[in-house]
Structure 1
Amino acid sequence: MKKTLLFLPLLFLIISCNNQKKETTIVEQIAEANGFENWNDVEEIRYTFNVKVNDSLRTSRAWTWKPKTHEVSLNTANNTVTYNHETEAAANEKIDQQFINDQYWLLFPFHLVWDDMEWEHTKEATAPISGEQMQRVTVKYPGEAGYTPGDMYEIYFGEDNMIREWVYLSGGSRENPFATTWENYEEHRGIPIAKTHRNKDGSFELFFTDVSVE
Structure 2
Amino acid sequence: MKKIIVLSIILSSILTACKTDNNKVKTEVAEDTQLTVLEKIANANGFAHWKDVASIKFTFNVDRDSTHFERTWLWETASNEVTMMTRQDTITFNRKAVDSTMTATDGGFVNDKFWLLAPFQLVWDQKNFTYKHKENTEAPISKTKMHKLTTVYGNDGGYTPGDAYDYYFGDDYIIKEWAYRKENQEEPNMVTSWEDYKTLNKLNISMMHKRPDADFSLYFTEVEVK
Q: TM-score, normalized by length of structure 2? A: 0.83
Q: Does 1:67 align with 2:77?
A: yes
Which of residues 40, 48, 55 in structure 2 aligns to 1:29? 40
Q: Does the residue aligned with 2:173 lie in a helix, a strand or coil? A: coil
- Equivalent residue for 1:205? 217
Offset, 1:87: 1.4
Q: In 2 relative to 1, CA 24–176 (structure 1 residues): closer, same or farther, beyond 3 Å?
A: closer
Q: Does the residue aligned with 1:107 lie in a helix, a strand or coil? A: helix
Task: Give me the whole-angstrom Cα distance separating, in 2, the residues matched to 1:19 and 1:128.
Answer: 33
Q: Does the residue aligned with 1:185 lie in a helix, a strand or coil? A: strand
Task: Give me the whole-angstrom Cα distance separating, in 2, the residues matched to 1:188 and 1:89.
Answer: 33
Q: Does 1:147 align with 2:159?
A: yes
Q: Is the 1:89–1:96 Cα contact (8 Å) retained in structure 2?
A: no
Q: Does the residue aligned with 2:142 lie in a helix, a strand or coil? A: coil
> 5+ unaligned residues in a row in structure 1: which ranges?
1-14
Q: In 2 relative to 1, CA 176–139 (structure 1 residues): closer, same or farther, beyond 3 Å?
A: closer
Q: Does 1:185 align with 2:197?
A: yes
Identity of aligned residues (%): 38
- Equivalent residue for 2:130? 118
Task: Give me the whole-angstrom Cα distance separating, in 1, the residues matched to 2:158 and 2:176.
Answer: 25
Task: Give me the whole-angstrom Cα distance separating, in 2, the residues matched to 1:158 and 1:81.
Answer: 39
Offset, 1:174: 2.1
Offset, 1:86: 1.7
Task: Give me the whole-angstrom Cα distance separating, in 1, the residues matched to 2:121 and 2:31.
Answer: 24
Q: TM-score, normalized by length of structure 1? A: 0.87
Q: How does 1:26-105 map to 2 (within 5 A)?
A: 26-57=37-68, 59-105=69-115
Structural RMSD (CA): 1.9
Q: In 2 relative to 1, CA 55–127 (structure 1 residues): closer, same or farther, beyond 3 Å?
A: farther
Aligned length: 198
Task: Give me the whole-angstrom Cα distance separating, in 2, the residues matched to 1:89 and 1:33.
Answer: 35
- Equivalent residue for 1:5? none
Offset, 1:55: 4.1
Moved more, 118-127 or 194-203: 194-203
Moved more, 201-210 or 185-194: 201-210
Q: Does the residue aligned with 1:83 lie in a helix, a strand or coil? A: strand
Q: Does the residue aligned with 1:143 lie in a helix, a strand or coil? A: coil
Q: In 2 relative to 1, CA 198–191 (structure 1 residues): closer, same or farther, beyond 3 Å?
A: same
Task: Give me the whole-angstrom Cα distance separating, in 2, the residues matched to 1:120 and 1:145.
Answer: 21
Task: Give me the whole-angstrom Cα distance separating, in 2, the residues matched to 1:144 and 1:167.
Answer: 22
- Equivalent residue for 1:158? 170
Task: Give me the whole-angstrom Cα distance separating, in 1, the residues matched to 2:84 and 2:72.
Answer: 6
Deviations 1:31-55 (A, max 9, x none): 0001100111111100000111124
Task: Give me the whole-angstrom Cα distance separating, in 1, the residues matched to 2:204 and 2:31.
Answer: 28
> 5+ unaligned residues in a row in structure 2: which ranges?
1-25
Q: Is the 2:179–2:188 Cα contact (8 Å) retained in structure 1?
A: no
